């Protein structure tokens, strides 16, 4: 079974890049009838916050992205210890005693020589006596995973195609800090093994991490930590950029709370992010089954995916214009019925704007200054107003005949007197909602200044 996962660290709110990753993993699983899992990567006890765990769950729920299961790394520390023990016994992890300053100096020396800043495995040259002396001095080691330099690391990426890395050109990654806490690499691989993850879809900034983790998977299986499984399928998508054409810090803070505050519908955000970075058009599609069916990694490009606020707002407007009354009725102002929703919907960019437009029905409205000629015209309109199934068209037809007005001089003063606005909802739909008595009162008030 296809199994994907979304693995955020609860050190902050989800931002638009995280949301896109979660969405694409959810769609990939759904496309193949599989499972989508949420994994909370909370091994960083100092920075992880329970409030962010709750926020992650709430944001996914708002988006309609429902995991089939959830795991937390903080509840799985025994498994990481077990994996560490088998890798240590197999000689695939080793202790290192360099300080951060010493490592920084080594990197600077290599860069100064025009060489890649790869760890030199100096810790492997220490004798048992030298290691014991370090620890006697109170220097606790951090631990690195020893990469196998004999074989190239290769996989076929779902987006980038054939990938090949020379392990000798990579630094042995630190998997455990001197204080015993875990870094990303080993716990992530252990979780993927235990949770039967089959596909990992993430940003292209993780490509070199994938090369390392492939060797970690292989080492875990070889050491007997778990029964060997086929290698996971990996795909790395282009990162999001802003309109300025480069990675934007703003995108790192743009999350569901910001979208909700702006009145963005989850379907608009889903519709944009589902297609962003692909060759498929961004369309106001509210049927998720259609989006899932069209999801295809082969349509993803290598160029950075440009996130445009204006495009999101246009999409949101188009989706609001499709929304049925039953979908939004709990979010509408008191008294607005289905007829009211249909009247104002074509003029909305967000559902929240219905509150302001509904004021055109309930009042009070802003008064407009009219010329003496228009005041006389509005007084005539008040006299001509006779209620019917279609009072607006009956009124304008009568006024056209009696005054000879047509076009803007016929319609605009009426709209201004009845709504206080120069433009807005269709008056044919709006006038019946205002009602005969209130409409006549507004016309008479405008006529008498």
CB atoms within 10 A of CB 95: 19
Note the residue count of the chain.
449
The single residue listed with the structure tokens 């993430």 is 202
Take residue 146 and report the two structure tokens written for it: 């020893």
Closest CA to 83 of 217, 179, 197, 212: 217
User: Residues near 230 by Cβ (< 8 Å), separated by ≥ 6?
Assistant: none
Closest CA to 10 of 47, 62, 36: 47
DSSP class per residue in 147-215: ---SS-EEEEETTTEEEEE-GGGSPPPEEE-TTS-B-SHHHHHHHHHHTT--EEEEEGGGHHHHHHHHH
Q: Is 249 annotated as a binding residue?
A: yes
Tell me the HSE value of 67 on the side-chain side, using a 13 A CA sphere. Answer: 17
User: CA 272, CA 201: separation in Å to the nearest integer?
Assistant: 18
Laid out side by side, the sheet with 93-96 consists of: 93-96, 142-145, 174-176
Could you give the angle at the alpha carbon of 215 between the alpha carbons of 5 and 87, nearest 5°?
100
Which SS3 state, helix, strand or coil, does residue 306 take?
strand
CB atoms within 10 A of CB 314: 16
> Which long-range contacts does 341-346 make (Cβ < 8 Å, 24+ apart)?
342/429, 343/425, 343/426, 343/429, 343/430, 343/433, 344/425, 344/430, 345/320, 345/321, 346/321, 346/425, 346/426
- Residues at the binding site for ATP are 249
- Residues at the binding site are 249
């Amino acid at each position: 079974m296809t199994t994907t996962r979304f693995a955020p660290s609860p050190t902050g709110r989800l931002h638009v890049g995280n949301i896109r990753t979660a969405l694409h993993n959810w769609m990939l699983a759904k496309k193949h009838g599989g499972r989508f899992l949420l994994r909370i990567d909370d091994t960083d006890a100092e920075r992880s916050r329970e409030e962010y765990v709750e926020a992650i769950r709430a944001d996914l729920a708002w988006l309609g992205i429902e995991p089939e299961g959830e795991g937390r790394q903080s509840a799985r520390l025994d498994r990481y210890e077990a994996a560490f023990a088998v890798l240590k016994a197999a000689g695939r992890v080793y202790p290192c005693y360099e300080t951060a300053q010493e490592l920084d100096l080594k990197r600077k020396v290599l860069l100064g020589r025009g060489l890649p800043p790869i760890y030199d495995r100096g810790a492997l040259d220490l004798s048992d006596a030298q290691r014991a002396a370090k620890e006697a001095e109170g220097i606790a080691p951090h631990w690195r995973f020893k990469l196998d330099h004999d074989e190239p690391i290769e996989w076929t990426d779902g987006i980038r195609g054939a990938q090949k890395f020379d392990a000798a050109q990579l630094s042995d990654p630190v998997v455990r800090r001197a204080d015993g806490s875990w870094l990303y690499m080993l716990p992530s691989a252990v979780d993927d093994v235990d949770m039967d993850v089959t596909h990992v879809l993430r940003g292209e900034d993780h490509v070199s991490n994938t090369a390392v983790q492939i060797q970690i998977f292989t080492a875990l299986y070889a050491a007997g930590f778990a029964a060997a499984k086929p290698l996971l399928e990996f795909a790395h998508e282009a990162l999001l950029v802003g309109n300025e054409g480069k990675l934007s810090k703003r995108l790192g803070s743009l999350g569901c709370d910001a979208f909700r505050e702006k009145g963005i519908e989850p379907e608009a955000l889903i519709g944009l992010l589902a297609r962003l970075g692909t060759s498929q058009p961004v369309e106001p599609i509210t049927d998720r089954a259609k989006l899932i069916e069209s999801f295809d990694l082969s349509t993803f490009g290598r160029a950075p995916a440009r996130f445009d606020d204006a495009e999101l707002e246009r999409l949101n407007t188009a989706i609001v214009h499709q929304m049925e009354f039953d979908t939004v009725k709990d979010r509408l102002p008191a008294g607005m019925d289905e007829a009211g929703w249909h009247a104002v919907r074509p003029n909305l960019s967000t559902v929240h704007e219905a509150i302001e437009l509904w004021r055109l029905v309930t009042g009070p409205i802003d008064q407009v200054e009219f010329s003496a000629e228009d005041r006389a015209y509005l007084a005539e309109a008040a006299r001509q107003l006779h209620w019917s199934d279609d009072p607006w068209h009956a009124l304008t037809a009568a006024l056209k005949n009696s005054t000879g007005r047509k076009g803007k001089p016929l319609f605009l003063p009426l709209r201004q007197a009845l709504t206080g606005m120069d433009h807005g909802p269709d008056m044919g739909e709006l006038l019946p909602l205002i009602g005969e008595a209130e409409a006549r009162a507004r016309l008479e008030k405008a006529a008498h200044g």
